[in-house]
Amino acid sequence: MESLLENLTNPALLFFILGIIAIQISNDLKIPDSSSKFISIYLLLCIGFKGGNELSHAPFSLEILSSMLLGIGLATVVPLLAFFVIRRAVNTKNAGAIAAAYGSVSAVTFVTAISYLEFEGVGFDGHMIAVMALMEAPAIVVGILLIRLFDKETEGSTTEKPSFSSVFNHSINNASVFLIIGSLIIGFLASDQQAAGIKPFTTDIFKGFLAIFLLDMGIRAGSQIGAMRQNGWALVAFASIFPFFNGLVALWVASFFTASTGNLLLFAILAAGASYIAVPAAFKNAVPESNPGVYLSMSLGITFPINIIVGIPLYYHIIHHQMVVV
């Protein structure tokens, strides 16, 4: 327990908590939207570039293939499970949106987990960046297809439905996926000398920008907490418990083909995360009837803070104390 509490002293996590406190005491602290957007672009660019550069040094292996297959599998199975669990509490359109959010990934949670590993002096393999990128689109497609299959209003509607190709293209063509894949490719192509040339930008100042960004995310998350009271305790319970179930299952499955502490933690947090950037953007166009006040407040107001404050150190504690069967 002492080591678990000690892990919570990571400065980036404390800045996140500071942002939540600022909202709860009605402080006027705010990060300008333009600055927040720039920092998010910077973080994704750095993570993609460093991951691609590390991947260029690793020969293709069975572990890399297994990791990518597990990522795609999680992004397909998790939204299916989420849909049928939450369907009784909300209408079909919102259930599909929630399923897509929890089957997709949270890039910011992933970046924070990487920062946490660096803080602990633990490495991870570059192919985990590719796994994250692969998990973004399948869950969005599955969520929309579930709505098409089970929503009676959609069946009788005369409005034109978006085609499968347009849904798929939109889900993989959002800015975060494009940037992470593009940066991954650039990092893969860069030589060691070229990568070292921009190391002060991609590595040395990374943690400082992450601290500011998490302060902003704490402010945003804190503003969503109150909205959960209107959505009912069933959704609060789902947003609190379901991610841990996914994270522990992913941790167990991944332990069969990797012994890397860093890779195991990233798999757990990828499965436990919930998208609040890509999914709202996709569903705004594909299923405008879905209510972002429901699934966004769940993913950003409940799941995101739990993963940052409790989930990351908890999964690390489990892995570090060899409680996972490898």
Q: d(Cα 284, Cα 7) in Å, to the nearest integer?
A: 38
**How far apart are alpha carbons 299 and 67 in whole angstroms?**
25
- Global pTM reads 0.77
d(CA 272, CA 304) in angstroms, rounded, equals 9
Provide the pLDDT for residue 279: 78
pLDDT at 167 over 50: yes
Determine contact, residues 246/79, Cβ cutoff 8 Å: no
Looking at residue 325, its pLDDT comes to: 43
What is the model's pLDDT at position 326?
Answer: 41
pLDDT score for 133: 78
Mean pLDDT throughout 235-246? Answer: 93
Average of pLDDT values for 315-321? 87
Query: 61 vs 7, 55, 114, 180, 262, CA distance in Å?
Result: 32, 11, 22, 22, 17
More confident call, 281 vs 266:
266
Confidence category of residue 239, pLDDT binned at 50, 70, 90 = very high
pLDDT at 124 over 60: yes
Range with lowest mean pLDDT among 127-131, 247-251, 267-271:
127-131
Q: Where does the pLDDT of residue 282 fall: very low under 50, low under 70, confident under 90, or very high at 90 and above?
A: confident
Q: Which fold has domain 2-320?
A: Na+/H+ antiporter like fold (1.20.1530)
Q: Calculate the alpha carbon distances from 291 to 79, 96, 254, 276, 279 in Å.
A: 17, 11, 34, 13, 12
Ordered by start, the domain boundaries in the chain are 2-320
16 and 313 Cβ atoms separated by less than 8 Å: no
Mean pLDDT of 270-293: 79
Length of the chain: 326
What is the residue-averaged pLDDT of the chain? 82
Average pLDDT rounded to a whole number, residues 121-128: 87
Q: What is the largest CA-CA distance in the chain?
A: 60
What is the C-alpha to C-alpha distance for residues 187 and 197, in angstroms, rounded to an integer?
A: 12
Spatial distance between the Cα atoms of 112 and 69, rounded to a whole number of angstroms:
23
> Which region holds residue 121: left if phi is over 0, alpha if psi is between -120 and 50, else beta?
left
pLDDT value, residue 292: 76
Average pLDDT over residues 72-94: 92
**Does residue 262 have a pLDDT over 80?**
yes
How far is residue 184's CA from residue 249's CA, in Å, rounded to a whole number?
Answer: 27
Tell me, what's the pLDDT at 7? 57
Here the tokens at position 247 are 């994270």
The terminus-to-terminus CA distance of the chain in angstroms comes to 23
